Amino acid sequence: MTALILLLAYLLGSIPFGLLVGKIGYGIDIREHGSGNLGGTNTFRVLGAKAGTIVIVGDMLKGTLAASLPMLFSVPVHPLLAGRWQSSAICIRCSPSSAAARRWRHRAG
């Protein structure tokens, strides 16, 4: 069950809110504008405060949900280890499977 929760936390972290807000709400790929990052700061600069706020809140909620998964699935976990699930959500940002990695491969090749 622990492995499943870690996988769910990792998948939650893979949701690119900046890309979703840009594509669905504005019809643009936020990675091709401003600094090229998917984060809230770039979204604020390129798309405005409303879109930036949505991205920042979405990113915060996915981290909170990832850290809450053990409690939601009634898995006993020591409070000091609960951050492991949140770390799984954060690690996706460093992973080559994230949407941001496509930008780096595009620039390199």
Token code pair at residue 78: 């020591």
Which has the closest alpha carbon to 11: 100, 85, 103? 85
Per-residue pLDDT of 55-76, as tens digits, reads 999 988 988 888 888 888 888 7
Q: Are 73 and 9 in contact (CB under 8 A)?
A: no
The confidence score (pLDDT) of residue 108 equals 47
pLDDT at 109 over 50: no
Q: Are 62 and 13 in contact (CB under 8 A)?
A: yes
Per-residue pLDDT of 29-55, as tens digits, reads 999 999 988 889 999 999 999 999 999
Predicted TM-score of the model (pTM)? 0.72
